[in-house]
Amino acid sequence: MIRWIFTFIVIGVIALLASWLAGDPGAATLNWMGYRIETSMAVVFAVVILIVLVAAILYRIWWTLRRMPRTLWQGHKERRRRKGTKALSRGLVAVAAGDAETAHRQARRASSMIDDPSLTLLLSAQAAQLEGDEKAAERFFEQMKDRRDTEFLGIRGLLTQAMKKEDWDEALKLARRAYRLNPRSEWVVKTLYDLQKQTGRWNDAQVTLGESKRLKLIAPKAAERERAEIQYQLSLKSTGAEAAKLAQKAYKIDPTLEPAAVRWVEFLMAEGRHGKAAKVLEEAWQRNPSTVFSDLYRKARQADDDVKWLAAAKRLASRKPQDLESRLLVATAALDAKKWKDARAQLEPVAGDDAPSRVCRLMARLEEGEHGDLARAREWLIRASAGDEPQALLVPLTAAQAESAMADQSPTEEPSTEPPAEQQSEPETETPGKGATTAAAAS
């Protein structure tokens, strides 16, 4: 716009000057080297303007010729840059497609055409990784690490390589440097935190976890779980009262963390606080029944004999009576105490067609212990093994095999006059012949 205004002003001035000269052309005389030239002022002005135009044209030609080599070189560089950018794009596509040969070829081409290494080093490193040349990739990542504009990418590549080689100390060193460059990166914070845990630097991990929580890079519930785990690990590295305090803190932060609950209970029992330990185990069982808790609970309740343990097991199971682990706990204690009625009451509701293997084994113990019914016990054991092994490996008996197995069971054997198993002081033992027959039938 300004250029057009200036042009109109110049045209206006020229037109005004031409009009003035046309109305009053005047006269001009030039004496030069013996020549006398007489003319009007209009002609003088026209000659001056012509000389200026010619000088301007000549200057423009000289300026163009002077800049021509630079212009040609810049054009050549621009064409090479465009070709290099195109090769770079093709190389990145090849990396995404997993074509190592094409990626490497395009990386070499891009490197030869683009003067800026920051655009080609990453492609070269990724192409080397696709070819399995980790040393070449490491060399490219090192070059990237030494450049300010690609430092973070270089560190990330070296960090990934160090973790792949399980060089945890070097990986942690690189993760700390990456964290200094980009402390708000979720990937950096998570990687640094995982490496601190991997190398046992739990105090540092606690600081990183707090920073992650402040930046909202981790959900509050997950942060509490991680915090409890850190307190538990610090307890393992400590001794005495400090270890007990840390274990208690871990349990209070997250009562569902099983190792923390177990360690806190062990400290309570070591201090002679068995009642408190039992209460903690009851609360833990209510949240998540586990055989680890049941073993500790027997010690906490000081149930030295099977009858006392049955009563304690019922008390623990009452916190979550319908859970399978609670039923199995009471049933096992009842079988040990030879309380068949209690054991059957716990097992029969879960001893259906889809009964777990553990239920089947306990039912086999119950049938053999209560009634001495070895055949029924064998059926439960077969069901238990069917639950443990792939169904394709279980070949059912044919009718002929079943008849032969039944025929092997000594039909002339005298019926036993022994009292029922529950009235015997010693459990019934199988005869060698009968045991062999049982094994044959089971196979």
Give the model confidence (pLDDT) of 163-206 as tens digits: 998 999 999 999 999 999 988 888 999 999 999 999 999 999 99
Q: Provide, rounded to the nearest whole percent, the portion of the chain with pLDDT above 70.
A: 84
Short-list 233, 197, 193, 198, CA closest to 213: 193
> What average pLDDT does the structure give for the chain?
81
| Residue 21 scores a pLDDT above 80 | no
| Residue 150 scores a pLDDT above 50 | yes
| Residue 149 scores a pLDDT above 90 | no
Predicted confidence at residue 417, as pLDDT, reads 38
| pLDDT tens-place string over residues 297-349 | 999 999 889 999 999 999 999 999 999 999 999 999 999 999 999 999 999 99
| Residue 285 scores a pLDDT above 50 | yes
Q: What is the mean pLDDT of residues 15-38?
A: 75
Q: What is the mean pLDDT of residues 410-418?
A: 40
Q: How confident is the model at residue 435 (pLDDT cuts 50, 70, 90)?
A: very low
Predicted confidence at residue 438, as pLDDT, reads 36
* Boundaries of every domain in the chain: 351-391
| Residue 233 scores a pLDDT above 70 | yes
Predicted confidence at residue 115, as pLDDT, reads 67
Predicted confidence at residue 10, as pLDDT, reads 78
